[in-house]
Amino acid sequence: MRHSKPLPPPTILFRIRVIIGLLLGLRCHDFRAARTFASTQWPDATWLAKLRKFLIWAWRQVWFDLPDIMRDIRFSRPVSRVPFWLAEGNPLANHPWCQNPRATLPEETDTVAIGCGLAGSAMAYHWATCAPAQRQLIVLEMDDVASGSAGRNEGLIVMGRYYHMVYITVLKHLPMARPDLNQDDHELLARQFAAAYCSGCYRNADLIETTIRKEGFECDYAREGWVQARDENEQMSLQESVHMALESGFDDWTSITPEQVEQLSGMQVRHNAGFSLAAATFHPAKWCWSLVQRALERDSFELYSQTKVVRVEDRGEYYLVRTRRGDIRARHVVNCTESYTALLHRQFSGLMRPTQTQAATGSGGPESLKPFMGISGTNGFFGRHGNAVIVGSDATWVPDYQAGRIQPSRFLTKFCSAQLKKFYGRFDYQINNEWSGTVTYTPDEFPVVGTMDGKRQYIIGGMAGSGSAVGFNGARCIVNRILGRNQEPDDFPPEYFSPTRLLDPTRHSWPKLQAGKSIRKAPHPAAREV
């Protein structure tokens, strides 16, 4: 319900009660998240200046914004830590043990994929639709299908991180990876990386749509775009990024006026916002379940959940995949383990860093919040799915061993709710579910899709919180390589996507510089006028 009347300011007693509640609720992660916040808000300030600015900001939050929002939001007792998408149960829970407790793992197979989130379910689907029956894929999942970030996310199918963003992150990293090149060459190479990334992501989004329509998957799919608010200081960089997107031909990324923002999302802003035209929303867990259920109809695919892989040993002709339920010999292995990867393959520690993000859902929320729309404020995301409103934020590195832990910060949930109010005005909101997950950032924030040992062990990961933009197409390309199918385009050329780029940059075969070559693409067909 929307409140029309403004309330008088909260009393001093109420403010003090809110502050005590916040202090009592602080956990270790709140301090880590505070550090992330300070570094992203004031990247160029000294540590002392960051601390000073942060304390002023924190004071405003605890004395003004949070007491204000705390009059309108309530927390269920208890708030469930089950992610909203999984709250109604998992149709593939404990598969196949639930129905067949005596089942045993096969001793040998063609290919094992480890992990069954967005990437692992996509492996299952592509394999089952392309492989001959005698070639077998086994997916091993230590928990249940979509129990990792795939079942804990915001529910957006993104067109990827837009061209300019990829260009900037790769450009920052290139002086370390390619000290032999000059600044101009770094810029050129960063552009090539951005183009390679966007090509793969654009096809990925279309493949998802085609698959949902062709298979008739019921996963609440809607393609309405994604609005991203930008404050006054970010207007220049927004203009620059839109210009670069247009110039490169990856024209999904545009800028819209405050009036258009309100019309599309209900959000009230004072400045232009970024807009991804062809982003979509879906129920991410239903998407994974649908892919795996379709794959299970074929003899070439088997799923074993609640089966943790503890080691992968290279035995020359085959890999020995060691699990808590027994060992499997496999000719190929595909790691779809994302933020958990360094726990299985130590060489990725520090190169695929688990980064915590969190979300909460509740009933109520602003009436004007438009459903089926990707919506980001300046410090968090929001959305409406049926009767539930989702809010979330954070991107804080956590140690490898904390990958996948559910440890949301209550402070952040309150902060995100206050952000929602900033853009939508007052509303009632009852928070029922609150959770966190970990996504993975590589040092250049560019994904890794390809072989990790130069042989037959592959990885699909490092998707920087945009797994819906990479995993489906990435899995298609890896399946094609393993099956020796070369009739389809491969969007993940090793010179860009191979993990050797991170593991051994001096021996990596870097792409040739394409000086003067145009990388313009045709406009995206899903792009529509706003």
Only segment of 21-29, 330-338, 425-433, 502-510 that touches ligand FAD (CB under 6 A): 330-338
Cβ-proximal residues to 422 (8 Å cutoff; 6+ apart), any chain: 65, 377
Helix (H) and strand (E) counts in the chain: 15, 19
| Residue of 18, 73, 138, 158 interacting with ligand FAD (CB under 6 A) | 158
**Residue 119 interacting with ligand FAD (CB under 6 A):** yes
252 binds ligand FAD (CB under 6 A): no
If the CB atoms of residues 149 and 228 are measured against ligand FAD, the closer one turns out to be: 149
Q: Is 309 in the site for ligand FAD (CB under 6 A)?
A: yes
Chain centroid to Cα 388, Å, comes to 20
CB closer to ligand FAD, 62 vs 351: 351
- Per CB under 6 A, the list member of 10, 148, 354, 462 interacting with ligand FAD is 148
User: How many residues at the interface with ligand FAD, by CB under 6 A?
Assistant: 43
285 exposure class (CB count in 10 Å sphere: 0-12, 13-18, 19+): buried
Other Cβ atoms less than 10 A from the Cβ of 385: the count is 18
By the rule CB under 6 A, 82 interacts with ligand FAD: no
Query: 471 and 122 in contact (C-beta within 8 Å)?
Result: yes
Which amino acid is located at 100 in the chain?
A: N
Q: Is 467 in the site for ligand FAD (CB under 6 A)?
A: yes
Examine residue 434 and tell whether it contacts ligand FAD (CB under 6 A).
no
Does residue number 123 form part of the binding site for ligand FAD (CB under 6 A)? no
Instruction: Establish whether the linkage from the previous residue to 78 is cis, with ω within 30° of 0.
Output: yes
Closest CB to ligand FAD among residues 117, 366: 117
Output the six-digit token pair for 257: 């006026």
Which listed residue (15, 73, 123, 141) binds ligand FAD by CB under 6 A? 141
Q: Is 475 in the site for ligand FAD (CB under 6 A)?
A: no
- Based on the shown chain and the rule CB under 6 A, indicate whether residue 227 belongs to the binding site for ligand FAD: no
Nearer to ligand FAD, 366 or 465 (CB): 465
Using alpha carbons, list the distances in angstroms from residue 462 to 63, 74, 378, 497.
39, 36, 24, 10
Out of 109, 111, 136, 149, point to the residue binding ligand FAD (CB under 6 A): 149
Number of Cβ within 10 Å of residue 378's Cβ equals: 16
Q: Which is nearer to ligand FAD, 34 or 116 (CB)?
A: 116
Asked if 358 and 379 count as a contact pair (C-beta separation under 8 A), the reply is: no
Nearer to ligand FAD, 114 or 195 (CB): 114
Site string for ligand FAD, 333-352 (x = CB under 6 A): ---xxxxx---x--------
| Cβ nearer to ligand FAD, comparing 336 with 479 | 336
The reply to whether 143 sits near ligand FAD by the rule CB under 6 A is yes
For 186, the token pair is 């770094």
Find out whether 195 and 514 touch, Cβ atoms under 8 Å. no
Four-residue CA torsion sign, 186, 187, 188, 193: positive
- The reply to whether 437 sits near ligand FAD by the rule CB under 6 A is yes
User: Rounded to the nearest whole angstrom, what is the least distance from the CB of residue 240 to ligand FAD in the complex?
Assistant: 24
Verify binding: residue 114, ligand FAD, rule CB under 6 A: yes
Cβ neighbours of residue 397 closer than 8 Å, sequence gap 6 or more: 32, 36, 353, 354, 355, 356, 441
Instruction: Please identify, among the stretches 29-37, 66-74, 104-112, 144-152, the one whose residues bind ligand FAD according to the rule CB under 6 A.
Output: 144-152
The alpha carbon of 314 is separated from its chain's Cα centroid by a whole number of angstroms, namely 30
Instruction: Give least dist CB 226 to ligand FAD, A.
Output: 9
Interface with ligand FAD includes 361 (CB under 6 A)? no
Pairing between β-strand 326-335 and β-strand 353-364 as defined by DSSP bridges: unpaired
Smaller CB distance to ligand FAD: residue 247 or 327? 327
Contact 255, 234 (CB under 8 A): no
Among 140, 285, 418, 483, which residue sits at the site for ligand FAD (rule: CB under 6 A)?
140
By CB under 6 A, name the one of 65, 68, 154, 490 that touches ligand FAD: 154
From the list 34, 113, 142, 256, which residue makes contact with ligand FAD (rule: CB under 6 A)?
142
Who contacts 417 (Cβ-Cβ below 8 Å, separation ≥6)?
69, 73, 391, 429, 431
Q: Give the bridge partners for 230, in sequence order.
A: none
Task: Name the residue nearer to ligand FAD (CB basis): 300 or 337.
Answer: 337
- Among the listed residues 320, 361, 311, the one whose alpha carbon sits nearest the alpha carbon of residue 88: 361
Instruction: Determine if 120 is a binding residue for ligand FAD (CB under 6 A).
Output: yes
354 binds ligand FAD (CB under 6 A): no
Q: Which residue has the tokens 């770094």?
A: 186
- In whole angstroms, give the CA distance from residue 510 to residue 297: 41
Q: Applying CB under 6 A, does 152 fall inside the site for ligand FAD?
A: yes
C-alpha to C-alpha distance for 362 and 281, rounded to whole angstroms:
18
Give 62 or 112: the residue with its C-beta nearer to ligand FAD: 112
150 lies in the site for ligand FAD, by CB under 6 A: yes
Rounded Cα–Cα distance for residues 347 and 370 (Å): 44
Q: Are 245 and 252 in contact (CB under 8 A)?
A: yes
Q: Which is nearer to ligand FAD, 33 or 336 (CB)?
A: 336
- As measured in angstroms, the least distance from the Cβ of 338 to ligand FAD is 3
Burial 229-250 (b: 16+ CB within 10 A, else e): bbeeebeeebeebbebbeebbb
The binding site for ligand FAD (CB under 6 A) comprises 114-120, 140-143, 147-150, 152-156, 158, 308-309, 336-340, 344, 357-359, 392, 437, 439, 461, 463, 465-469, 471
